[in-house]
Structure 1
Amino acid sequence: MIVSTPGLSRFRRTGAIAAAALAAVALGVVPGARAEAAGDTLPLDDGDLTEVRTSRALADGVTLTRIERGSEPAPADQINTTTRGPWVVNVLTIDPSQARGHLKATYGPNLSQVEKTTDLVRASGALAGVNASFFTFTASQLYPGDPVGLGLFGGKLLSEPTTDPAEVNFVVDANSNRALTGKLTWSGSVRNRQTEATLPLEFLNHPPVVPAGCAALADQTQCTLPGDVVEFTPEFASSTPSGAGVEVVLDRLGCVVRTSTTRGTALAAGETSLQATGRDTVALLDVAGQGCVDRTSTLTDQQGEELPVRPGLFGVNGRYPLTADGQIVVPAGSGSFFARNPRTIAGTTRDGKIVLATIDGRQTTSVGTTMDETAAVAQALGMDDAVNLDGGGSTAMAVEGALVNRPSGSTERAVGDALIYLDGPYRSGN
């Protein structure tokens, strides 16, 4: 696993630990060719297409490169099959040895809503950025921006990594611009200080589900089916999710402020709440219904070693590693997710650079890439370790608040969060 040392200070190089290959095996991946220095051209066709690269410096240590491979538009009915492209790839490279700024993750006014990547870049005063995590997305949802996996912002864990073996994480320390990739796991609990009764937490800032068999019960304490136990913070939304269940609000010291036999309330600064549904409502009231509780929240790597969460640490979720410790590790797969799509990639090079790339797709002017092709692009761009971030209609790169790629939809899609580069040192809260 690439997450292994406190403070990210003892990495033998950014984003590379050999145990990542073990992670690939755990995902059913067969390691492939080793990533060497970035090649002269992208390995996306028979090798005879023209390729044009244009680069410009955006700031000290920050370069934007546009790669156009192939010049003839693809027939509309051959976008998914043609070997002639074309492909349009935008690459943002950050060299921590020269850059004066920092990379971080950000979201909109609250965690549960969505914003366009361009708006997130503008609102943060960032130089550039790309879309990042997978998120709920469904427009009819009350909380479309809810991350589907890790959401770590300035040392605050606001969304836990899932147990889905496909999830892979990209974590960056904004203090040093050291980045890493790999799969994190999480555990959390609440413990009553007086009785010492303990209850595991299942989610962070994720709306709990009422068991289907108890959906008609207004009083969830009468339910005999397991439900969810969730912690909410003020960053989630203007109020916590409403509905059947119980809710306990805690002050900054972990002491009970109020309890309710229904869910949904506004949280003041410093407050958190615990919600439960199903028969877990009884357990929550027993453990945290009165008095004070201590909460635990622990991120660990694949070797079971704790990743200390501290100011300046940011993390987002992706689906599947592309390269790990210099090897292509993308798993075999089928279906639309593995077919050609627009893609967003985050990774690191052997010499410590951070690379963010977008590949336009589903268009005659840029056909997109399969998962295998995406890994090959990451390797050709010199990424020793790379992850596949949210793609499809979410794929977007903005520089100085303006799009530099062409999203696949008719308009830019609003997303849950973004990775952004600000041209200045990191300060807690910025």
Structure 2
Amino acid sequence: MTTNRNRCKQPRRRTTTVVTALLGAALLGFTATPMPVSANEATLPLGDSDLVETRSSETLAQGVTLTRIVRGTEPAPIDQIGDTPRGPWVVNVLTIDPTQSKGHLAATYGPDLAGVEKTTDLVREADALVGVNASFFTFTASAEYPGDPVGLGIYGGRLLSEPTGDAAEADLVLDAKNHKVLMGQLRWTGSVRNAQTKISLPLEYINHPPVVPDPCTDLPDPTQCADSGDTVRFTPEFAASTPSGPGVEVVLDSKGCVVRTTTTRGTTLAQDQTSLQATGREAADLLAVAQGCVKHSSSLQDEAGKKIPLRPGTFAVNGRYRLVKDGQIVAPSGSDSFFDRHPRTIAGTTLDGKIVLVTIDGRQTTSVGTTMTETASVAAALGMHDAVNLDGGGSTTMSVEGSLVNQPSGNEERPVGDALVYIDRTFDDR
């Protein structure tokens, strides 16, 4: 995605109103003027029913509202964060009404896909009004490529990371031009085919370092490896250079014709080039197919098998687990720590088409976080008809005009792989 880092921004006019369910939240450093709760507004289904809940709403732009909810007034004992019914909880809710707003929602990443950058920086660089962290990403599993999305990633109509096929993956697809949102588990297939021989080879990944089978590491000729390997397509957006190591790499020009072939991996791609890497026994298969010119095929489908069109206004990020589907809570329960109380980031839509982005602070005495079940209940209580759980934990961040809105759980804001940002102007697909 192209961003303008030097664009001057006009100050935005904001309007603040406050609604409180009960009095006070001063111990959390949050003050608000008490006002009666409207008859149709319910408190969050978190903890004991007698907890103090305070809400403060701020209009960031036409059709864009930020609401801060604080439930509970007493800081939690540090040894009770994981199970206390007294909270407290701090929840930030961004609501975008496409029928009133002038802007659009998009997904963006830093200088390259494989790197990481803070959400606050991503918001500034996109000249966005507000943003939240988005996809699950490689993080500490790869020191060299920490920002590599673990699942679907589409930016400005370019499919730069494929869905994993994991049953837990729940993807969020945006149509920035028409303000439409799709959620679900997407499926992808890809292949390359020789233009003359018609021989084809399936692709395992897009912009993801291929797996090198152990027996291949000691062979002088990686094409002789008998074990299986991967075939991966790389684009210039991935990193300054493609992953290096044993295997083969074929660089293609914009027409799919071979520019160069090497029997080791790792190269720098020009903006109009792509490459194919293969390891294990697939290295020999790639060498046989990638001669002359090849045609790349890619198909992305939704849960119903309908093809997802990739237009300039298409953006997508990956999450883990649907929280709400067609108005019903569908979040699973689990026994591992992922399902325990953590900071959470949620994306969802209401029945009347509003888009909602939420952060729930956690792992702190001032906000304990939510389990997966509690997260789904919050999404439903906030009126979401459909919702997905985005990356959370130390990644959970909301930023307005490059300034932090929430309190990340670590000592400082964590760099992330990508972010969802609201840009307060009409999407231009030219």
Q: With structure 2 as the length reference, what TM-score do the two structures score?
A: 0.90
Q: What is the CA deviation profile of residues 348-382 of structure 1, one whole-angstrom value per residue up to 9, with x for unaligned ones?
A: 00000000000000000000000000000000010
Residue 406 of structure 1 aligns with an amino acid whose one-letter code is Q
1:272 to 271, 274, 296: 274
Q: Any idea what SS the aligned residue of 2:150 has?
A: coil
Q: What is the CA deviation profile of residues 150-208 of structure 1, one whole-angstrom value per residue up to 9, with x for unaligned ones?
A: 00001100000011000000111111221121110100000001000000000000001
Confirm or deny: 8 A CA contact 1:229 1:274 kept in the other structure: yes
Q: 1:321 & 1:339 partners in 2: Cα distance? A: 16
Q: Which residue of 2 aligns with 1:362?
A: 363
1:156 aligns with 2:152: no
1:62 aligns with 2:76: no
Residue 162 of structure 2 aligns with an amino acid whose one-letter code is E
Residue 324 of structure 1 aligns with an amino acid whose one-letter code is K
Q: 1:74 & 1:38 partners in 2: Cα distance? A: 30
1:207 to 203, 206, 209: 209
Confirm or deny: 8 A CA contact 1:101 1:424 kept in the other structure: yes
1:177 to 179, 184, 196: 179
Q: 2:86 & 2:209 partners in 1: Cα distance? A: 45
1:340 aligns with 2:323: no
Counting aligned pairs with the same residue, the percent is: 69
RMSD: 1.2
1:50 aligns with 2:63: no
Q: What is the CA deviation profile of residues 322-371 of structure 1, one whole-angstrom value per residue up to 9, with x for unaligned ones?
A: 00010000012112100000000000000000000000000000000000
Q: What is the CA deviation profile of residues 133-164 of structure 1, one whole-angstrom value per residue up to 9, with x for unaligned ones?
A: 00000175200000000000011000000110
1:223, distance to aligned residue in structure 2 (A): 0.2
1:428, distance to aligned residue in structure 2 (A): 3.2
Q: Any idea what SS the aligned residue of 1:215 has?
A: helix
Confirm or deny: 8 A CA contact 1:38 1:381 kept in the other structure: no
Residue 123 of structure 1 aligns with an amino acid whose one-letter code is E
How many residue pairs align between the two structures?
Answer: 392
1:74 aligns with 2:76: yes
1:281 to 280, 283, 294: 283
Q: Which residue of 2 aligns with 1:166?
A: 168
Q: What is the CA deviation profile of residues 40-78 of structure 1, one whole-angstrom value per residue up to 9, with x for unaligned ones?
A: 110001211110000010000000000000000001000
Q: 1:314 & 1:159 partners in 2: Cα distance? A: 12
Q: Which residue of 2 aligns with 1:24?
A: none
Confirm or deny: 8 A CA contact 1:38 1:379 kept in the other structure: no
Residue 108 of structure 2 aligns with an amino acid whose one-letter code is T
Q: Any idea what SS the aligned residue of 1:355 has?
A: strand
Q: With structure 1 as the length reference, what TM-score do the two structures score?
A: 0.90
Q: Which residue of 2 aligns with 1:15?
A: none
Larger mean Cα displacement after TM superposition, 178-187 or 139-148: 139-148
1:218, distance to aligned residue in structure 2 (A): 3.6
Residue 120 of structure 2 aligns with an amino acid whose one-letter code is T
1:404 aligns with 2:415: no
Q: What is the CA deviation profile of residues 242-297 of structure 1, one whole-angstrom value per residue up to 9, with x for unaligned ones?
A: 11100000000000011000001111111000000000000000011x11111111
Which structure's CA Rg is the greater one? 2
Q: 2:371 & 2:141 partners in 1: Cα distance? A: 26
Q: 1:173 & 1:192 partners in 2: Cα distance? A: 33
Q: What is the CA deviation profile of residues 202-244 of structure 1, one whole-angstrom value per residue up to 9, with x for unaligned ones?
A: 0000001110122222421010000010000000011111111
Residue 343 of structure 1 aligns with an amino acid whose one-letter code is R
1:322 aligns with 2:323: yes
Change in CA separation of 1:273 and 1:225 when aligned onto 2, cut-off 3 Å: same
1:298 aligns with 2:288: no
Confirm or deny: 8 A CA contact 2:216 2:246 kept in the other structure: no
Residue 41 of structure 1 aligns with an amino acid whose one-letter code is T
Q: 2:61 & 2:179 partners in 1: Cα distance? A: 15
Q: Which residue of 2 aligns with 1:106?
A: 108
Q: 2:348 & 2:142 partners in 1: Cα distance? A: 33
Q: 1:243 & 1:140 partners in 2: Cα distance? A: 15
Q: Which residue of 2 aligns with 1:20?
A: none
TM alignment of 1:377-416, pairs within 5 A: 377-416=378-417
1:39, distance to aligned residue in structure 2 (A): 4.7
Q: Which residue of 1 aligns with 2:228?
A: 226
1:303, distance to aligned residue in structure 2 (A): 2.2
Q: 1:357 & 1:140 partners in 2: Cα distance? A: 28
Q: Deviation above 3 Å: which 4+ runs of structure 1? A: none
Confirm or deny: 8 A CA contact 1:64 1:93 kept in the other structure: yes
1:425 aligns with 2:405: no
Structure number with greater CO (CA < 8 Å, separation at least 6) is 1
Q: 1:251 & 1:225 partners in 2: Cα distance? A: 30
